[in-house]
Amino acid sequence: MQALFALVRAELRLHFSNRRAVLMSIVAPILIAAFFGSLFGGSSKMAGIPIAVVDLDGSPLSRSVVAALQAEASLKTTVTDEADAVAQVRAGKLRAAAVLPAGLGEQAGGAMFGGRKPEIALHYDPSQASALAVVRGLLAQTLMQEVSRATFGSAGLEKLQQQVRGATGLAAGQRDDLLKMFDAIGKVQHADAAASAASAPQAGGLSLPYATREIEALQSTANAAPVAYNSYAHSFAGMGVQFILMSGVELALGLLLMRRLGLWKRLRAAPLSRALLLGSRFASSALISLIIFAVIYAVAIAAFGVRVLGSPAGFALVLACFSLLTASFGLLVAALGRTPEATRGLAILATLLMVMLGGAWVPAFIFPEWLQTISLAVPTRWAVDALDAMTWRGQPFAAALLPGAVMLGFSAVFMGIAVWRFRWEE
């Protein structure tokens, strides 16, 4: 054990003697995490979705639809002609363009009762397909309200009654039922108009039959009160995982350079076993990773308001397990690599793939369903999710046990392969 402690102490002194390298390994993840945290922060106001509306109808109904879309806070609506709107969508300046067809005002009311439906063309940017669902939903809500207001007004009801009386495809009983319904709606509207003559005019039209009250479903295990989401917590988890893994790659490259320079031969000349030499390198790499990760989170807590809202013991367990994973990954890279030059590119590629699949750059819930399932086979996914659980999600210690066990399992596999495949001579 004295030899092991001496080797680990020497590795720690050698690593932390290079102050510039140590400083960059801490500053780089902090700066990038700060950028992503401020970019995706919940307090940042989202800009309205830029769209265009083309009114080919020019009826009172289409004009009211355009005015309602312009008043919608979630949209940034401009009115232009169809050619210009399509050109701006193709250029990426607009997310979508809605073309209100000619005859919208004439056909929309009757379409609610089985008549011909006018077709609204939606030109959209394929790179912004997620915005299309928002635009489609707001357009449907606006059209339903404006069409129902125009349809069930006095003039609209008279027009519908004339269309029903002249319709040849309706059965006599169905025609009579529709006319009775329109008469009843007219009586109710006249009564409401007389009752509210002295009050402010009502908006009218059909609207959503419910109201929502939004409540954040997050709370600390120590406090039952809801807590605010801190976007810096996830960004520091993702960037910390990425740069700690990269530091493991650098430690692996250091091993390859030691082998090339013959330092391993000199160490093997001493009464030291192979397991002791690799174990000292593993222990020193894990300690370096743990220290750097702890410093990164200390800055996140002091300067960016990140809090360990879950179990502090679970948080420490996750950091320790990931540090062991990083050390074993570094040894695996060193064991499989032949030269430092060839290994660097492959190791960085493998690291970036693990980081991307782990949700360090983009949260994993944005992934397609099949990719979310595949990413569970990557240890970084468990690390990022566990850090989120122990910080802003406020989960108990039990939530850290399974991710910790998965990371330790990967560490054991990586370490076993490294010991088996490590070559002592260049």
Pick from 153, 173, 204: which residue ends a domain? 153
Average of per-residue pLDDT across 189-210: 54
Report yes or no on 265 lying in a domain.
yes
Which is higher by pLDDT, 173 or 21?
21
Q: For residue 138, what is the domain's CATH number?
A: 3.40.1710.10
Q: Residue 236 corresponds to which tokens in the numbers above?
A: 């520091």
Phi, psi of 151 (to 5 degrees): -70, -45
What is the pLDDT, as a whole number, of residue 377?
93
Strands 49-55 and 121-124, sheet pairing: unpaired
Report yes or no on 195 lying in a domain.
no
Please report, as a single letter, which amino acid is at residue 105. Answer: G
Helix axes 312-336, 379-390, angle to 10 degrees: 160
Lowest mean pLDDT segment, chosen from 5-9, 75-79, 221-225, 277-281: 221-225
Report yes or no on 207 lying in a domain.
no
What is the pLDDT, as a whole number, of residue 196?
55
Pick from 153, 180, 209: which residue ends a domain? 153
pLDDT, tens only, 160-169: 666 666 666 6
> What percentage of residues in the chain have a pLDDT greater than 70?
79
Whether the per-residue pLDDT at 354 is higher than 70: the answer is: yes
Cα separation, 213 vs 226, in Å, equals 15
Whether the per-residue pLDDT at 122 is higher than 60: the answer is: yes
Number of domains forming the structure of the chain: 2
Give the strand order in the sheet containing 49-55: 75-79, 49-55, 96-100, 121-124
Confidence of residue 130 (pLDDT cuts 50, 70, 90): confident
Lowest mean pLDDT segment, chosen from 45-49, 199-203, 347-351: 199-203
Cα separation, 109 vs 114, in Å, equals 10
What 3-state DSSP class applies to 1? coil
Please state, rounded to an integer, the average pLDDT across all residues of the chain. Answer: 81
CB 287 within 8 A of CB 214: no
Confidence of residue 201 (pLDDT cuts 50, 70, 90): very low
pLDDT, tens only, 399-411: 999 999 999 999 9
> What percentage of residues in the chain have a pLDDT greater than 90?
32
What 3-state DSSP class applies to 53? strand
Distances (CA, A) of 301 to 30, 50, 296: 11, 37, 9
Whether the per-residue pLDDT at 154 is higher than 60: the answer is: no
Confidence of residue 200 (pLDDT cuts 50, 70, 90): very low
Report yes or no on 196 lying in a domain.
no
Which is higher by pLDDT, 43 or 238?
238
Distances (CA, A) of 363 to 35, 131, 293: 15, 18, 20
pLDDT, tens only, 43-66: 545 568 899 999 998 888 888 889
Helix axes 312-336, 231-260, angle to 10 degrees: 30
Query: Which residues lie below 8 Å from residue 356, measured CB to CB, with a gap of 6+?
Result: 362
Q: Which structural domain range is residue 63 located in? A: 49-153
In a shared domain, residues 126 and 243: no
**E-state strands within 309-397:** none
In a shared domain, residues 87 and 23: no
**DSSP characters over 232-286:** HHHHHHHHHHHHHHHHHHHHHHHHHHHHHTTHHHHHHHSS--HHHHHHHHHHHHH
In a shared domain, residues 415 and 394: yes
Whether the per-residue pLDDT at 229 is higher than 80: the answer is: no
Whether the per-residue pLDDT at 316 is higher than 90: the answer is: yes
Which is higher by pLDDT, 258 or 291?
291
